[in-house]
Structures are given as structure tokens and as C-alpha cells.
């Protein structure tokens, strides 16, 4: 085990952009709850040249030689063309950072939409390439989508119908028959690609589908590949039957039948799993629904459901927050915005109507209107990145947020205090960790949210233990995190009271709560999440093999043929500029 100092000393040149920056190849990892924790070198290059140290559980033992085939809408490596060169980008986010190392170790295959502008020229004729591009360890199989597919499947049915329905925000629900047709066709294409990859796999394949983009894939894949083991993580809430009923007749049935093609469907919380079961009871009356054991019997098969709350790479965030750079940035931010006893608040979201950003601004308005003595007492940094800007509700929301921030700053601001600093851009993880560390409170105000990773990133980065988490009770995270100040974002007065409670909380209580949240988070990291899912899958596969006497082994997977990787914004505001200037 290395000390942090030793880790810092072990630097080598970045293989992608030698000379530009260094990669730190070492890590200091405490073995925690999981018995089998290992260091893994994980050089990343997401913003030209960056690095994340990854310490992960070696979960390959739970695969027992099976090949993992992962399906997600977003790809783990995207090739982008600029005027001078083609560069590779790894999208930030917990999922990629947890699953990429797993895929590297298992030599599996990741199937995803090839969305990058230089993706075609960097893949072979069927869309395959070895990744990471500089040291191939597994296969990325890209699937191509036309503009019409993106409009119908992705922006249309997935993001204008399923997304608002699953978040119970039916005022944004939009249905078009041609979007549904596109969703069906694209799901079929992805299922075909996954099936092809499973035939190339060494031995037995285990398919793991991600999210609401692919509700129809499991049943389609089962139709093609019989006894293949398929599981699915649903990252957003699952709605109750009265909401799903807003879709035209036949579509709820198709979505549920699609998902019941899985062997295991994973949700963040049991509440979402129970909603799913209520929908099955209502729309598929022939299915045998067992609420207590979270299972459905259908077509002679058993489908299990489970609650697996996702998390983050806690140690990686903590390390980023503890770095010298973060220390300097946090100090600079506090000097700029939290001088003389002033507090600093933070929020971080994509601009999405599920995140409750207007509700948060209304609560701040109420707070500063009703309690004038709190004016000047704290500054809010609101990091709000444009998202899904092709869609009208998102464009409207963005305009509303920008206008409200401007109005609040005009109404309450003084020559030496700007109440809200709006950062209207993507912020890299190192900087996020520093801002989370600097903050005295973090506001998460989602109207509905499957989990909410920002809440966990804030807690992981609070290495000085002075911050308070103000958390919407409508997030999956609120069902897990016991010591946050819970609020209802629809209740503007109650939300303002929650912020006031956080601001006035005595230091001892802040520390006690934050320490408890941090201890809890350390017991439940993204690697624990990954491990618990793979353990469950292994147990289900074992029992299935015992039941059918091993027929399964012959039913899926190919002939052991090759499975190695083939060779082959928006405008900133004055506040944001000011914010950047404040940083060293």
C-alpha cells in the first residue's frame, strides 16, 4: 500500500499527449468492505489530457470466464475530429469509470451508439475497434444512427416520452407514433448487434443492458438467442401504472414485455421495483407477480428484480479533493466568495426540468425576501450545464434559468456581493471536487431523480467536514443518506427553511452529520454496486444451471472464435468569467 506522498511521486508521461501533462499511475487504497480490492492503472484522457486514478474491486471472478457484453447508448470512447487532428475523448461520469476497467479485464465487448464525428474513420467496416485506443484491451462495437434515428429514437421516444413519464413530469410528455416506430427499429438493431457480438464471444456471454433507451432489447435478444443471460440497469425512476397508461394502448405492454426478456432487472430502490411490478400486474395480467420476493413468472421463466443503489468512485473523488491543486482552488474560491464569515453554496446539474433548478431559485428568492439579514450572508455557485438543447422544453428551461439568475442578482446584489454565480459550462472533475470541498452547503432540488450522484460527490469531496447537504426527498439518494437536510422542492417556503437550517447549523452538528454521511458512503461505492450486481447474476446463473442441468452452456455463446479487440456551448456569463479569474 502506498502513501499519498509516494503515490504523488510516481508520475510518468501521458501516453496520449507526452510532454503535455503527467499521469499519476499509483494509488493509495484502503481495503474496505470488499475483500478483494486491487489497484488498477487507469489512464484517461478526457479533456485533451487528464488522469483519474482508479482503485477497483476485481470483479472478474464473478464472471467465471463468461464474456461480458455491455450495451449503453453512450460509448466509452468517442473520436472527435477538429481542424488539426482526431482526438479521443472519454465521457466523464461514474458509469464509464467503473465499467471501463471491468471491461478491460474481461476482454469483453461494449456495444454503443457511435456518436463521435470521427468514429467511422477510426472503426473497421462493422464498427469495431479495440479500446482504449492507445492500448486495446476490449472491443467497442459502434452502431450507427442516422439523423432520423436520433430524432425519433433518442430525442423523441426516449427523451420526450419515456424520460418525462418516468420522472412523473407529464406536462413535458410528448408522443409521436413515428418516434415509437423509430425506437422499436433502433432497439432491434442494437439487439442484432449484441447478438452478433455474443456469437463471437469466447464461451458463454453475459449481456448487461443500460437504461431506458433499450427497454425492448432484452425480449428481442431472447427471441434471437434463447437461453442467454441478460440483465438490465434502469438508471431513472420507474413510474406507477397510471402514468404508464398515458402511452397509447399496446405500448406499455410492449415496454414491459421487452424488459421481462431480462433475467434480472436492476433499479436504484425497491420503490421503483414495486412500481414496475404494479405495472406488470396491471398491463400483463397473465404474468405471475410476486411482490415480496420481487419476481415475475412469465412464459415459463422467472424474472428477478432488485434494488442496487448506484454510487461513485468515492476514493477517486476524495483524492481529487485532497490534492494540492484542490486545496489551492478551494482557498481561492473561499477568498473570493466567502470572505468575512460569508457562506458558500454550490449546486451542480445538467439543465434538465427534473433537477428543480427554477424551484431552487424560487426558494433562494423567498429566503432573501423574507430574511433580509441573510442577504450578503452567502453566495451560491450554480453550475448548470446545457443539456439536450435540441429539445424545446430544454431550450425554454435554459432561458428561464438565465433570466431568473439575472433578476435575482439585480434585485438582491450589492456593489460588493453578487448573490448567484452562474457557471454555464461543463466543469472537469478536478475542479468540481475543489468547489464541493470549498462549499458550506450543497443544494440538490430534483423534482424526481433515480439516484443523484452530485449529492454523493459532494459528500465524498467534503474532506474538511464543514458542509451541509440539502437534499430533495424525491431523489433515490434521500432513501439512502440519513444525515442530509431533506426538503420538498415543490414547497417553496419549506425549501427556504431547509436552506436557513443548513446556514444556521452549528459547526459540531455539521461535522457529526458529514462524518456519518462519509462513513456510510465509504461502505457503498460504485465498486460495491458493481460487485453486488455481478454476485447476484452469478448466483442466478448458478441456480439456473443447476435447474437445467447445464443445457445453457450449449445454448449461447459462439464457437470460441476471436474475441480479442480488433486492431485497428453555450455562452459564459460575467459571473462565470469572474469565477474562472478567481482560480489559481
Q: How many CB atoms lie within 10 A of CB 200?
A: 20
Cα 11 to Cα 47, 250, 344, 438, 551: the distances in Å are: 19, 58, 34, 27, 50
State residue 424 phi and psi, 5-degree precision.
Answer: -105, 50
Closest distance of CB 267 from ligand ADQ, Å: 10
Site string for ligand ADQ, 66-95 (x = CB under 6 A): --------------------------xxx-
Closest distance of CB 568 from ligand ADQ, Å: 30
Secondary structure (3-state) at 501: helix
Q: Which of 391, 312, 68, 408 has its CA nearest to residue 209?
A: 68
Indicate the helix (H) or strand (E) that contains 89.
strand 86-89
Q: Are 273 and 307 in contact (CB under 8 A)?
A: yes
Closest distance of CB 349 from ligand ADQ, Å: 5
Q: Is 349 in the site for ligand ADQ (CB under 6 A)?
A: yes
* The one segment of 28-36, 280-288, 345-353, 433-441 that binds ligand ADQ by CB under 6 A: 345-353
The correct pick among 450, 557, 558, 565 for binding ligand ADQ (CB under 6 A) is 450
Query: Which residues ranging from 399 to 438 are in contact with ligand ADQ (CB under 6 A)?
Result: 426-427, 432
The correct pick among 50, 447, 451, 502 for binding ligand ADQ (CB under 6 A) is 451
Query: Which residues ranging from 229 to 258 are in contact with ligand ADQ (CB under 6 A)?
Result: 235-236
Beta bridge partners of 297: 288, 302
Secondary structure (3-state) at 88: strand
* The one segment of 40-48, 143-151, 348-356, 359-367 that binds ligand ADQ by CB under 6 A: 348-356
Closest distance of CB 569 from ligand ADQ, Å: 11
Handedness of CA 214, 218, 223, 228 (dihedral sign): positive
Relative orientation angle of helices 177-200 and 251-259, to the nearest 10 degrees: 20
The correct pick among 100, 220, 359, 449 for binding ligand ADQ (CB under 6 A) is 449
Size of the site for ligand ADQ (CB under 6 A): 21
The correct pick among 227, 274, 371, 385 for binding ligand ADQ (CB under 6 A) is 385
Distance, CA of 23 to CA of 487 (rounded, Å): 41
Nearer to ligand ADQ, 67 or 97 (CB): 97
Q: Which of 428, 430, 422 has its CA nearest to residue 329?
A: 430
Q: How many CB atoms lie within 10 A of CB 523?
A: 12
* The one segment of 1-9, 122-130, 293-301, 445-453 that binds ligand ADQ by CB under 6 A: 445-453
Closest distance of CB 208 from ligand ADQ, Å: 14
What is the β-pairing status of strands 138-143 and 78-81?
unpaired
Q: Is 348 in the site for ligand ADQ (CB under 6 A)?
A: yes
Nearer to ligand ADQ, 220 or 313 (CB): 313
Nearer to ligand ADQ, 422 or 556 (CB): 422
Nearer to ligand ADQ, 94 or 498 (CB): 94
Closest distance of CB 426 from ligand ADQ, Å: 4
- The C-alpha cell 464498427 sits at 127
Site string for ligand ADQ, 455-474 (x = CB under 6 A): --x-----------------
* The one segment of 15-23, 169-177, 332-340, 451-459 that binds ligand ADQ by CB under 6 A: 451-459
Closest distance of CB 458 from ligand ADQ, Å: 9
Nearer to ligand ADQ, 26 or 576 (CB): 576
Closest distance of CB 443 from ligand ADQ, Å: 13
Q: Are 10 and 38 in contact (CB under 8 A)?
A: no
Query: Which residues ranging from 290 to 319 are in contact with ligand ADQ (CB under 6 A)?
Result: 310
Nearer to ligand ADQ, 225 or 481 (CB): 481
Cα 362 to Cα 405, 451, 494, 520, 576: the distances in Å are: 10, 23, 11, 32, 21
Cα 70 to Cα 131, 504, 534: the distances in Å are: 14, 47, 13
Nearer to ligand ADQ, 210 or 379 (CB): 210
Q: Is 528 in the site for ligand ADQ (CB under 6 A)?
A: no
Nearer to ligand ADQ, 312 or 364 (CB): 312
What is the β-pairing status of strands 109-113 and 67-72?
parallel
* The one segment of 186-194, 294-302, 444-452, 486-494 that binds ligand ADQ by CB under 6 A: 444-452
Closest distance of CB 444 from ligand ADQ, Å: 8
Nearer to ligand ADQ, 2 or 385 (CB): 385
* The one segment of 218-226, 254-262, 402-410, 446-454 that binds ligand ADQ by CB under 6 A: 446-454
Q: Which of 317, 369, 377, 370 has its CA nearest to residue 342?
A: 377
- Nine cell digits for residue 84: 488539426
Q: How many CB atoms lie within 10 A of CB 374?
A: 19
Nearer to ligand ADQ, 87 or 268 (CB): 268
Distance, CA of 339 to CA of 395 (rounded, Å): 35
Instruction: Spell 276-311 as b/e; 16+ CB within 10 A means b.
Output: bbbbbebbbeebebeeeebbbebeeebbbbbbbbbb
Q: Are 6 and 29 in contact (CB under 8 A)?
A: no
The correct pick among 24, 257, 452, 524 for binding ligand ADQ (CB under 6 A) is 452
Relative orientation angle of helices 314-322 and 324-337, to the nearest 10 degrees: 70
Site string for ligand ADQ, 125-164 (x = CB under 6 A): ----------------------------------------
Nearer to ligand ADQ, 256 or 453 (CB): 453
The correct pick among 295, 342, 350, 366 for binding ligand ADQ (CB under 6 A) is 350
Q: Which long-range contacts (CB under 8 A, 24 or more apart) does 425-430 make?
A: 425/385, 425/569, 425/570, 425/572, 425/576, 426/92, 426/385, 427/348, 427/383, 427/385, 428/46, 428/47, 428/50, 428/92, 429/52, 429/92, 429/317, 429/320, 430/50, 430/320, 430/323, 430/325, 430/326
Contacts with ligand ADQ by CB under 6 A lie at: 92-94, 235-236, 310, 348-350, 383, 385, 426-427, 432, 449-454, 457
Amino acid at each position: 500500500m502506498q502513501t499519498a506522498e509516494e503515490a504523488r511521486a510516481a508520475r510518468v508521461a501521458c501516453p496520449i499527449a507526452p510532454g503535455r501533462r503527467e499521469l499519476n499511475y499509483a494509488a493509495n487504497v484502503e481495503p474496505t468492505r470488499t475483500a478483494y480490492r486491487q489497484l488498477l492503472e487507469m489512464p484517461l484522457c478526457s479533456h485533451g489530457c487528464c488522469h483519474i486514478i482508479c482503485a477497483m474491486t476485481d470483479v472478474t471472478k464473478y464472471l467465471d470466464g463468461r464474456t461480458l457484453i455491455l450495451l449503453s447508448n453512450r460509448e466509452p470512447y468517442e473520436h472527435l475530429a477538429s481542424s488539426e487532428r482526431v482526438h479521443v475523448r472519454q465521457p466523464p461520469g461514474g458509469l464509464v469509470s467503473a465499467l471501463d476497467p471491468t471491461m478491460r479485464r474481461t476482454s469483453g465487448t461494449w456495444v454503443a451508439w457511435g456518436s463521435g464525428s470521427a468514429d467511422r474513420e477510426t472503426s473497421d467496416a462493422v464498427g469495431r475497434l479495440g479500446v482504449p485506443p492507445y492500448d486495446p484491451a476490449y472491443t467497442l462495437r459502434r452502431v450507427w444512427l442516422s439523423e432520423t434515428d436520433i430524432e425519433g429514437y433518442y430525442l423523441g421516444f426516449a427523451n420526450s416520452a419515456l424520460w418525462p413519464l418516468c420522472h412523473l413530469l407529464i406536462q413535458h410528455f410528448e408522443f409521436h407514433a413515428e418516434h415509437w416506430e423509430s425506437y422499436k427499429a433502433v432497439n432491434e438493431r442494437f439487439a442484432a448487434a449484441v447478438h452478433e457480438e455474443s456469437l463471437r464471444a469466447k464461451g458463454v456471454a453475459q449481456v448487461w443492458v443500460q437504461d431506458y433507451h433499450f427497454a425492448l432489447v432484452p425480449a428481442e435478444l431472447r427471441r434471437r438467442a434463447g437461453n442467454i443471460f441478460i440483465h438490465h440497469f434502469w438508471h431513472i425512476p420507474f413510474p406507477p401504472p397510471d402514468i404508464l397508461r398515458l402511452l397509447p394502448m399496446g405500448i406499455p405492454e410492449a415496454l414491459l414485455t421487452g424488459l421481462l426478456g431480462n433475467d434480472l432487472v436492476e433499479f436504484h430502490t425497491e420503490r421503483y421495483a414495486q412500481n414496475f411490478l404494479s405495472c406488470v400486474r396491471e398491463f400483463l395480467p397473465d404474468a405471475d407477480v410476486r411482490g415480496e420476493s420481487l419476481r415475475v413468472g412469465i412464459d415459463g421463466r422467472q424474472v428477478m428484480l432488485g434494488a442496487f443503489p448506484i454510487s461513485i468512485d468515492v476514493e477517486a473523488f476524495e483524492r481529487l479533493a485532497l490534492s494540492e491543486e484542490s486545496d489551492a482552488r478551494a482557498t481561492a474560491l473561499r477568498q473570493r466568495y466567502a470572505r468575512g464569515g460569508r457562506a458558500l453554496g454550490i449546486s451542480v446539474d445538467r439543465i434538465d426540468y427534473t433537477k428543480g433548478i427554477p424551484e431552487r431559485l424560487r426558494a433562494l428568492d423567498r429566503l432573501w425576501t423574507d430574511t433580509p439579514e441573510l442577504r450578503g450572508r452567502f453566495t451560491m455557485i450554480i453550475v448548470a450545464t446545457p443539456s439536450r438543447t435540441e429539445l424545446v422544453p430544454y431550450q425554454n428551461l435554459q432561458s428561464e434559468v438565465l433570466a431568473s439568475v439575472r433578476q435575482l442578482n439585480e434585485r438582491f446584489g450589492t456593489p460588493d456581493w453578487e448573490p448567484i454565480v452562474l457557471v454555464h459550462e461543463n466543469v472537469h472533475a478536478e475542479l468540481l471536487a475543489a468547489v464541493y470541498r470549498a462549499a458550506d452547503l450543497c443544494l440538490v432540488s430534483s423534482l424526481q431523480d433515480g439516484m443523484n450522484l452530485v449529492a454523493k460527490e459532494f459528500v465524498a469531496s467534503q474532506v474538511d467536514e464543514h458542509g451541509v447537504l440539502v437534499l430533495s426527498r424525491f431523489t433515490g439518494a434521500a432513501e439512502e443518506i440519513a444525515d442530509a437536510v431533506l426538503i420538498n422542492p415543490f414547497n417553496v417556503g419549506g425549501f427556504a427553511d431547509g436552506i436557513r437550517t443548513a446556514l444556521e447549523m452549528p459547526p459540531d452538528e455539521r461535522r457529526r452529520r458529514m462524518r456519518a454521511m462519509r462513513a456510510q458512503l465509504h461502505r457503498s461505492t460504485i465498486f460495491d454496486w458493481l460487485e453486488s450486481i455481478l454476485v447476484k447474476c452469478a448466483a442466478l446463473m448458478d441456480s439456473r444451471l443447476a435447474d437445467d442441468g447445464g443445457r445453457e452452456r450449449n445454448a449461447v455463446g459462439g464457437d470460441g472464435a476471436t474475441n480479442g479487440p480488433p486492431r485497428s456551448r453555450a455562452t459564459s456569463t460575467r459571473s462565470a468569467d469572474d469565477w474562472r479569474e478567481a482560480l489559481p
